[in-house]
Structure formats: C-alpha cells, structure tokens
Structure 1
Amino acid sequence: MTRPALSGRVAVALVVVGAVLMLVPLLWVLALSLKSNAELMADTHSVFNGRYTLQNYADLVGDGQVFRWIANSLIVSLGMTAGVLILSSLAGYGFARLEFPGRRLLFVIVLFGLAVPEQAVIIARHQLFSWAELHNTHGALILPGLSAPFGVFLMTQYFRAIPKEIDEAALLDNASRFTIFWKLLLPLTIPAQATLGIFTFLSAWNDYWWPLISATNKEMFTLTVGIASTQMNFAQTEGLGFLMAQAVFAGLPILIVYLLFQKYIVQAVAGAAGR
C-alpha cells in the first residue's frame, strides 16, 4: 500500500472515530428518554436494559400547551429567518454594488455590531419594547433578531464575489437595478442564503434569553421557555427520562431542517473555500 493511500485511510478512520464520539452523547440522551423515570431514579445504568417506553413522550405531548409553544417557536423562527434573509440580501447588495455617501463608514458600523453582545443592550431593548407595549407579542420576539450584522457581512461578501460584468451587461439592456438584483444576482447567492437561513432559524429556535424576558404570558412561551417552565426542582434526578425526552423533542425540528438543507451548507462552504 502506498503512503498516500495509507494516509487517506488513517484520515478516514480518525474522522469516523470523531463522528462516533460526537454521536455517543446524543444516543445516550435518546436512550435515557426511552426509560421510565422510576428506573432511572433507582439506577441510571438501567438504560442498558431492554425495557424501553414512550411514556415520557406521551406525557410531553399530552400537555396541550406544548403544541402552542411549538407554534410560537415556528412563527418566531420562520418570521425572523425571512426578515433576516430579505434585509441582509438587500443590504448586502447595496454595500457590494451601489455607490452612496458614507457607504464604507456605514459598513464599518455594521461590522462593529458583531462585537456587541446581546447582554449589553438587553436593558435598553426591554425598556424600548415596554414603552411600545410590544411584550408578549410575536413582534417583540422577532424584531430584535432582524438586526443581523453577520448576515449583512456574509451577503455583502457573496455579492462582491459575483463578477460586475453581469450588472453592466444587464444595464446595457435597460434592466433596472431591482431586476438585476432579483432575477440575476439573487439566484446566484442561494447557497449563502440557505446557510444564513439555517443558522438564523437554529438561533431563533434555540433562543432562551430574550423570550424568557419578553414573553411573560404562558400563551406566548416559545418551546425552549415552555419546556424549561415545566421542569420542577431536581428535575435532573427525579425526572431524568422526561427531561431527556424534552431535549429530544426540542432538537428534532432543527435536525430535520439541517438534513433538508444540508447540501446548501456544503455548497456554501465549498464556494467560500474556492474564493
């Protein structure tokens, strides 16, 4: 066997080992979610026994509030994702293709937004939404997430990588700027949009900090806040199986979204590496 072939097999073996190590905690959580809480309280090693049950999931779904929380999470996540894609694409096109006074300074200000943590503005944000009486609404949960400096930066870089000859040829054919953006350039950025959309959806779905502050009405809880509200004291020891079922239930939609759009992430990474 040649040295390059041996090196390739070793690399593949290391990747497989790394993948297995990453899957072990997930499989452990799944196994715990299929065990009764009584057995796990007696001995957590009972997870290796053959008696499994779906009772934890039945108890979780049996609470009608869960479906309301799922609906809230979907509304917030999809609304935020759509808003970020629209605004980031428009801003990215403007920064990459248009000339206007203060363009560079404004772009630098946007980049500064990447360095500002959410916790630094949480008090001002809370007061602003309180003044506007928007708390306990879907708008309050969606609007803060529309400020996405990373999305603007990502789309700006992708638009800059597209040859400007496309714009010039379209302008010679009397195409408007919006037509060039919508019909010519935007389809070329689908991998970047898919990646940005997935990360935005994931971030919105898993967000706990702002929904916990803004949504005080149980009817407006997102899934993360709602599930956390069902946990009693010592939930980790008294209801470990139920707790793991909640974790699986909350993570399943994210897994489905990732599997559906996985190819776009690969295309985006490959395109970025090529550039």
Structure 2
Amino acid sequence: MSATTPIQHGHSRTLFWIAVAVSVLMFAPMAWVLVLSFTDNEALSRGTEAAFTGPYTLKNYTDIAGNSGVFRWFVNSLIVGAGQTAGVLVLSSLAGYAFGRLEWPGRKVIFVIVLFGLAVPEQAVIIPRHQIFSTLDLHNTYIGLMLPGMSLPFGVFLMTQFFRAIPPEIDEAALLDNATRWRIFWKVLLPLTLPAQATLGIFTFLFAWNDYWWPLISATDKDMYTLTIGIASSQVNFAQTEGLGFLAAQAVFAALPVLIVYIIFQKHVVTAVSGGAVK
C-alpha cells in the first residue's frame, strides 16, 4: 500500500479549496436573494445594507399569497413546463425508438437532419416562427407557448443513444413470443429508459420554466405571462412594485418547483449519468 506523498496531499488540498471557492461564488447570489426576501421593504428602500441588519419579516411571502397575478403566472409556467416536458418525452421516445431500433429507408439521413437542429440557434428562426404562429392565431395560448419547445433535437439524440445501448436480444426474445413492435416498445423497452427519460424530463422542465425569449415574444397578454416574464415586468416597473424584498420573494417562490423536481428525480439522473440503467 503506497502512502500519500506531500505533493499529492498538496494538490488535493488545492483542489478542495478551489471547489469551495467555486461553490461560494455560485451560492452567494442565491443566498443574497434569500436574505433580501426576508428583509423589510421599508428598510431596504433606505439601503440594501439592511439585509445584514434587519428587521426581518415574512410579509413579502404573505404578500405573494395575496397577489393573484403572481399565482396566475405560476400556474401558467406550471402548465407550459409540464405540457412541454410531456410532449418532449413522448416525441423523443418514439423518435429514439425508430432511429435506434428499427431499420427503414433514409433513417441515417433523417437522423443527421434532426441533429442539424442542434446547430441552429433559436434566434435564427424567430421571425418565421412568429409569422407562422401569428397566422395560426396561436400567440397568447398555452399551445403557442409549449409547441416550439417540443421539437428538441437533443432529446431525440439522447433517447436514440439510449435505445441503441439496450441489447438486441431483448427484441428477439419478445418477437419469439409473438409480441408486436408497439408492445415491445411500450412494455419491454420503454421501462428500461426511465432514467434517461427522467434526466431529459428534468432538463426540459428547467428549460421551459426558465425560458424568457419565446414567452416574451408570444405572450403579450398579462394573463398569459409566465413567471419569468411576470417577474421581469415587475422589475421594469419597479416604482409600481411593493419593493426589493417582494421581488426577491417572487424569485425564491419561482425557484421552489425546480428544486422540488430535482430532489424527487435526482436518483434517476445519477443512474442515467453513471450509465447504470441498462445491464
């Protein structure tokens, strides 16, 4: 058994302190917003140093409970996030199965075309997308907010790679039992991809929940604002808000669903990243 040398010990200590410094830098803005959310607005109006001295209160959070606009934006974000996530999981799973397990003419060419979508920035297609949705009268609707995010090339690529990693003997055994392709997909293969779907679902929900660009363009009716647009509009009209503490409380309120989703599905994410989903 070899002993740890002083040089190795020094490198480990350096890496440890680097990790601590990076963690502090990442956590500091979140901690600052959290402290502001509990600080009295009247004290904050005189200076943000009140965040260190108080007084502290829960009024900012109780004000959210009495603000129907914030809850309306919250529900809109929840509907858009859940609907977009469900759409991505369904379409990516079906496409991944078709690309990863089936043989059909033009499969490789179409798969390359799908991957080209990874290289096209959203800003490059925003004008034709806006015109199409205007023609179809889909602006200020839930479908209009969800539909662009359902076409996710990364989701198709992830599910394709995951389906390809499943041993082909599973399909052969199911076919010998006279199972149809749909039954093999639904009953046999799809359950094996749950870790990948959990990972894809979390990233899709995070993207939909934090999306600002498309809701800013598509949602012009205040009742159709998502949380990102609603909170941003409050910051623009800062003089009409109830103060900095109230804005910080809204930000904390908006972050809670993301934290809850990650806590619930973190086991599946770790499994997918470690590659232990398919044995």
User: 8 Å contact 1:41–1:238 — kept in the other structure?
Assistant: no
Measured in 1, the distance between the counterparts of 2:250 and 2:71 equals 13
Partner of residue 37 from structure 1, selected from 24, 36, 41: 41
Deviations 1:190-217 (A, max 9, x none): 1110000000001111111111111111
Q: C-alpha separation between the residues in 2 aligned to 1:102 and 1:60? A: 54
AA in 2 matched with 1:185: L
| Aligned match of 1:226 | 230
Matched to 2:137, the amino acid is: E
TM-score normalised by structure 1 residue count: 0.91
Question: Is 1:249 aligned to residue 270 of structure 2?
Answer: no
CA shift, 1:103, in A, is 0.4
Query: Of residues 193, 198, 223 in structure 2, which corresponds to 1:194?
Result: 198
Q: How many Å separate the matches in 2 of 1:23 and 1:36?
A: 22
Structure 2 partner of 1:51: 55
> Partner amino acid for 1:256?
I
Corresponding position: 1:169 with 2:173: yes
Verify the 8 A CA contact 2:88 2:152 in the aligned structure 1: yes
Moved more, 265-274 or 70-79: 265-274
Comparing 221-230 with 88-97, greater Cα deviation is found at 221-230
- Could you list the per-position Cα deviations for residues 227-271 of structure 1 after superposition, in whole angstroms to 9, with x for gaps in the alignment? 222234456x99322222221111111111111111111111111
Q: Is it true that 1:156 corresponds to 2:160 in the alignment?
A: yes
Is it true that 1:140 corresponds to 2:144 in the alignment? yes
- How many pairs does the alignment contain? 274
Contact 1:66 1:223 in 2 (8 A): yes
What is the identity, as a one-letter code, of the residue corresponding to 2:147?
Answer: L
Residue of structure 2 aligned with 1:69, choices 56, 68, 73: 73
| Contact map agreement 1:141 1:210 (CA 8 A) in 2 | yes
Unaligned runs of 5+ in 2: none
Whether 1:259 aligns to 2:263 is yes
Structure 2 residue 98 is matched with structure 1 residue 107: no
The answer as to whether partners of 2:43 and 2:54 remain within 8 angstroms in 1 is no
- In the TM superposition, residue 39 of structure 1 has moved relative to its aligned partner by 1.7
Q: What letter matches 1:113 in structure 2? A: G
Rounded to whole Å, the distance in 2 between the matches of 1:273 and 1:98 is 21
The range that moved more, 61-70 or 34-43, is 34-43
2:3 aligned partner: 2
TM-superposed deviation, 1:25 = 2.1
Give the distance between the partners of 2:175 and 2:232, measured in 1 at CA. Answer: 55
> What secondary structure is seen at the aligned counterpart in 1 of 2:186?
helix
DSSP 3-state at the match of 1:192: helix
Deviates more, 1:101-110 or 1:44-53: 44-53
Q: Distance in 1 between matches of 2:228 and 2:156?
A: 27
CA distance in 2, matches of 1:146, 1:28: 34
Take 1:7 and 1:264, find their aligned partners in 2: how far apart are those partners?
A: 35
SS at match of 2:178: coil
Q: Is the 8 A contact 1:37 1:239 kept in 2?
A: yes
Change (3 A) 1:233 1:139: closer
